[in-house]
Amino acid sequence: MSDDLSLFGREEAILEESRVCLDRHSQALERACLIMNNEDCQRFEDMQGLVASYGKLLADYGRLYKQSSRLVNLSDRLQRRINETNQALLASQDQLEVRNRFIRNTFGRYLSDEVVSNLLDSPTGLDMGGSKREVTVMMTDLRGFTALCERLPAESVVMLLNLYFAEMVEIIAQYKGTIMGMFGDGLMVVFGAPQHLPDHAGQAVACALRLQLAMPAVNERAHARGLTDPLSMGIGINTGPVVAGNIGSEKRSKYSVIGNNVNLAARIESLTVGGQVLISESTLAACGRERLRVDDVMTANLKGIRLDTTVYRIGAIHGDDQPALPLPRDALTPVASHPIRFVSMDGKVAHPTPLEGHIVALAGDLFDLECRQELSLFANLKILPDEERDDREGGQYTYGKIIGQTRHSPHLYRVGITVCSPEMKALFDKLTPTVVD
């Protein structure tokens, strides 16, 4: 840089000397004009002075020519310096773009594109702390996947998850969701952070419906690879203020959202059975009820929440080219009453006292349970085999969840199956032909 400045200084000195030579040239021309216009002045001494002046002027021009040549050389050197600097800057820019692409491609496999962009493009992207903002949180979870993992080799479990996540991630990106985490077979997705999303609630519901509609394709791909157990997924959605930002320590942190509304989304997801999309009242209000097809309205007493929570089962978004799930079955096929024994579950712990009931209707992964004991909505059930044994292999129990109660009888409950053992599947196949007229 100092060499470039010295070049500019030498150019200015040469230009100043050029101006001096031009002034002398002008003075000599003025003297010549005076002599030529003065008819009385023919003295030889004046002509000699004129010749001497022109001789000096020629010497000045000679020196100016040499200095001009040096100036041209200096300008050429300066231009080469500028070209070399520009080439170096372009090379550095290319290297920077390659580095940024590498960072985005590498970290994009572990973080969402929005989070990576926030880290790279924002001056405060790495600052610890967060801000309060309104978002919609979506939680997904595969039903019965734990039992499935116990039956499959580890390689098959990983392949199945990769098939599932590959399809889910593509759809989530289309609806501008930010994946905050993959928890085993579950996903936590946020709409509205870190990038602002005007209709984050509507985008989340539309995305959830698309995810459910994609599950048959996931199962087809899995079946083509020899994995015959179909996957089903439950989705819970909630809208509300959260704290969003970089959480952790200076050595290790992650961009995430925290708050009661995140916990509520997880609680709502725990109420679902496979194929369902349940949303909170705040998400319904943010979307506008007139936009949605509400297939069911239920009230649940959720853990950690003082008041009862109303949840809505969503089947579609009204409008052209909007996702829509099949209408839920209103009535199942009556079958010959078949006795079963079951226990209710408190989290992962089964109640020690078995209860008795009868299967009186079924269709697909649903059945109607007649039971004289009072059962709670959303209660999880573990159905015991006909001959109870303590050494069930591979977790081959059938699990279900009470998803409704019929209006016709206070003792008739609708149960959605979350895990179906081969024994129970054989029983359903056996019962199905015995249709009651």
Q: How confident is the model at residue 234 (pLDDT cuts 50, 70, 90)?
A: very high
Give phi and psi for 194, each to the nearest 5.
-75, -20
Find which of 52-61, 67-76, 134-143, 378-387 is predicted with most confidence, using mean pLDDT: 134-143
Mean pLDDT to the nearest integer, 232-249 = 91
Class of the domain covering 333-431? mainly beta
Other residues' Cβ atoms within 10 Å of the Cβ of residue 190: 29
Residue labelled with tokens 């949303």: 279
What is the bridge-based pairing of β-strands 277-280 and 233-248?
Answer: parallel
State residue 435's pLDDT score.
47
Instruction: Answer yes or no: same fold for 126-317 and 333-431.
Output: no
Mean pLDDT to the nearest integer, 87-116 = 68
Is pTM beyond 0.75? Reply is no
State residue 65's pLDDT score.
66
CA distance 352 to 357: 16
Q: Which two tokens stand for residue 224?
A: 């083509």
pLDDT digits (tens, 9 = 90+) for 152-168: 899 999 999 999 999 99
CA distance 277 to 267: 13
State residue 145's pLDDT score.
87
Q: How confident is the model at residue 390 (pLDDT cuts 50, 70, 90)?
A: very low
Run of H or E residues at 22 = helix 2-37
pLDDT digits (tens, 9 = 90+) for 263-314: 999 999 999 999 999 999 999 999 999 999 999 999 998 887 888 999 999 9
State residue 193's pLDDT score.
86
CA-based R_g, the chain, Å: 41
State residue 386's pLDDT score.
72
CATH for 126-317, options being 3.40.50.150, 3.40.190.10, 3.30.70.1230, 1.10.3720.10:
3.30.70.1230
Three-class DSSP labels, 269-336 = HCCCCCCCEEEEHHHHHHHCHHHEEEEEEEEECCCCCCCCEEEEEEEEECCCCCCECCCCCCCCEEEE
pLDDT digits (tens, 9 = 90+) for 201-225: 999 999 999 999 999 999 999 999 9
Better-scored residue on pLDDT, 48 or 339: 339
CA distance 64 to 72: 12
Asked if residues 313 and 278 have their Cβ atoms less than 8 Å apart, the reply is: yes
In whole numbers, what is the pLDDT of the chain averaged over residues?
82
| Structural domain boundaries in the chain | 2-105, 126-317, 333-431
Q: How confident is the model at residue 34 (pLDDT cuts 50, 70, 90)?
A: low
State residue 184's pLDDT score.
87
